[in-house]
């Protein structure tokens, strides 16, 4: 059974208070949930009476033919503040598509609450997706199973969010976006198309948290990261500055907020920063002139490393071992100037995204690639890079603080 953080008293040792807290402890039959107080509180429930029950310490929502069966846990609005944390759990029975959880923009059970400006995770087939309806794609961020309970956390940014999922008792960073600035927001759990979805708590602590990147560079100059590769350049979530770049292959430079290789060696160039861990969440914005452009990770030397890149047609992940490249992921991905290339590496597992769409996954990265260096890769000096950001994936327990909320 997947680990779910334990229940806790109203005021936790260490001083955690809540803006919203519902543990769903007292049973309530269908038709008697709406308008009741959250337990132990604060909060007031808003529920579709005929499809929501409280039983065995869970809220259970039974789907119908549309989203009108959504359960919204709090009548009072929650204002967006950078670092605001929302923590909950989700489990479903079977089926696909019509299971949703997260934060809505309206305190309503009509479908309009789910059709504009909401932040959520949604289950489709055996995947959990990051969802915002103005996007044509909803990127898959985590593989899931029926009848398994998953704990998840949103940490709101001024624009967008981070999503963490508890994977076998380890909080992993699964998504970062800058999609929407909606405020206020309302917690939701919903089901449709005869699905049954349950959750055993919804919590919004008054403590604030945003992850700090290992490295962040907006390339105001070359040589040392400036901390400006992500939106949080001051205050909570800021950091990632002061990391030294190493020109591993070729020569690199930066000007006017963009980095590029000024010279290649053997037809390629690569530069890295030390990260301290092999388990990484790496993002960079790329503008292509020719050849390949992208990311390098687990860089040991010019004969042993990972490289993720776009070649103008496909997005590709390759491993280079003893000088021999092997393709691990490849798929067509429509090129867009300045779009983000994203690589997540976690043990022997890898996930590759381009322009907020999942390109593919692998479970067979060579276990001998263990170096803790990541950075940039190119085969053309005209390719430029901006907004390079590296977060810890979380495999090393970097986000254990989320257990305290």
pLDDT by 10s per residue, the chain, length 405: 344 444 444 444 357 999 999 999 999 998 899 899 999 999 998 886 678 899 999 998 886 665 555 566 677 788 999 999 999 999 887 665 567 788 887 776 555 555 555 678 888 778 898 987 666 668 999 998 888 899 999 999 999 999 999 999 999 999 999 988 889 988 888 776 667 888 999 999 999 999 999 999 999 999 999 999 999 999 999 999 999 999 999 999 999 899 999 999 999 999 999 999 999 999 999 999 999 999 999 999 999 999 999 999 999 999 999 999 999 999 999 999 999 999 999 999 999 999 999 999 999 999 999 999 999 999 999 999 999 999 999 999 999 999 999
Q: Measure the CA–CA gap between 9 and 404, rounded to whole angstroms.
A: 12
Q: Measure the CA–CA gap between 83 and 391, rounded to whole angstroms.
A: 16
The predicted pLDDT at position 106 comes to 75
Task: Mention every residue, 6+ apart, whose C-beta is less than 8 A from residue 337.
Answer: 287, 288
The predicted pLDDT at position 145 comes to 85
Report CA torsion sign: 66, 95, 55, 200.
Answer: negative
CA neighbours closer than 13 Å in the CB half-sphere of residue 238: 9
Phi/psi of residue 404, each to 5°? -85, -10
Exposed, middle or buried by CB within 10 Å (0-12, 13-18, 19+), for 285?
middle
Q: Measure the CA–CA gap between 352 and 239, rounded to whole angstroms.
A: 24
Phi/psi of residue 209, each to 5°? -155, 135
The predicted pLDDT at position 288 comes to 98
Number of H helices and number of E strands within the chain?
A: 0, 32
Task: Mention every residue, 6+ apart, whose C-beta is less than 8 A from residue 324.
Answer: none
Q: Measure the CA–CA gap between 347 and 153, rounded to whole angstroms.
A: 22
Q: How far is CA 130 from CA 35, 248, 334, in A?
A: 30, 35, 20
The predicted pLDDT at position 115 comes to 53
Please write the tens of the pLDDT for every residue from 150-169: 999 999 999 999 999 999 99
CA neighbours closer than 13 Å in the CB half-sphere of residue 132: 19
Task: Mention every residue, 6+ apart, whose C-beta is less than 8 A from residue 185.
Answer: 77, 78, 80, 103, 104, 105, 118, 119, 156
Task: Mention every residue, 6+ apart, whose C-beta is less than 8 A from residue 123.
Answer: 90, 92, 96, 97, 99, 100, 129, 144
Q: Measure the CA–CA gap between 143 and 149, rounded to whole angstroms.
A: 13
Exposed, middle or buried by CB within 10 Å (0-12, 13-18, 19+), for 70?
buried
The predicted pLDDT at position 1 comes to 37
Task: Mention every residue, 6+ apart, whose C-beta is less than 8 A from residue 26.
Answer: 39, 54
Enter the tokens of residue 73: 């846990």
The predicted pLDDT at position 10 comes to 47
Please write the tens of the pLDDT for every residue from 308-354: 999 999 999 999 999 999 999 999 999 999 999 999 999 999 999 99
Global confidence as pTM: 0.94
Q: Measure the CA–CA gap between 154 and 82, rounded to whole angstroms.
A: 11
Phi/psi of residue 148, each to 5°? -120, 130
The predicted pLDDT at position 118 comes to 67
Enter the tokens of residue 331: 């798929």
Any idea how long the chain is?
Answer: 405
- Domains assigned to the chain: 18-209 (2.60.120.200), 215-401 (2.60.120.560)
């Amino acid at each position: 059974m997947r680990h779910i953080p334990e229940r806790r008293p109203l005021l936790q040792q260490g001083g955690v208070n809540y803006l919203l807290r519902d543990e769903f402890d007292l049973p309530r039959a269908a038709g008697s949930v709406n308008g009741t107080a959250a337990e132990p509180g604060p909060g007031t429930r808003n529920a579709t009476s005929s499809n929501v029950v409280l039983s065995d310490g869970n809220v259970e929502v039974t789907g119908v033919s549309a989203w009108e069966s959504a359960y919204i846990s709090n009548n009072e609005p929650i204002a967006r503040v950078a670092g605001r944390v929302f923590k909950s759990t989700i489990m479903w029975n079977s089926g696909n598509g019509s299971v949703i959880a997260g934060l809505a923009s309206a305190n309503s059970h009509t479908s309009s609450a789910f059709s504009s400006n909401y932040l959520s995770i949604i289950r489709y087939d055996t995947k959990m997706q990051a969802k915002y309806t103005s996007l044509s794609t909803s990127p898959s961020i985590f593989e899931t199973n029926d009848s398994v309970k998953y704990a998840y956390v949103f940490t709101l940014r001024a624009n967008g969010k981070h999503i963490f999922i508890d994977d076998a008792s380890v909080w992993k960073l699964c998504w970062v976006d800058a999609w929407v600035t909606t405020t206020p927001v309302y917690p939701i759990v919903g089901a449709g198309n005869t699905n049954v979805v349950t959750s055993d708590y919804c919590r919004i602590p008054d403590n604030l948290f945003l992850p700090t990147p290992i490295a962040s560079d907006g390339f105001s100059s070359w040589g040392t990261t400036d901390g400006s590769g992500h939106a949080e350049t001051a205050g909570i979530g800021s950091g990632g500055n002061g990391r030294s770049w190493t020109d591993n292959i070729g020569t690199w430079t930066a000007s006017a907020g963009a980095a590029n290789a000024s010279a290649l060696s053997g037809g390629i160039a690569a530069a890295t920063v030390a990260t301290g861990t092999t388990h990484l969440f790496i993002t960079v914005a790329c503008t292509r002139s020719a050849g390949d452009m992208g990311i390098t990770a687990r860089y040991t030397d010019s004969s042993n490393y990972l490289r993720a890149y776009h070649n103008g047609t496909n997005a590709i992940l390759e491993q280079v071992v003893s000088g021999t490249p092997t393709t691990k992921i490849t798929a067509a991905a429509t090129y867009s100037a300045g779009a983000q290339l994203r690589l997540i590496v976690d043990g022997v597992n890898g996930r590759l995204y381009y322009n907020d769409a999942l390109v593919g996954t692998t479970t067979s990265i060579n276990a001998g690639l263990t170096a803790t260096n990541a950075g940039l890769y190119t085969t053309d000096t005209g390719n430029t890079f901006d907004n390079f950001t590296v977060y810890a994936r979380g495999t090393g327990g970097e986000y254990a603080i989320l257990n305290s909320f």
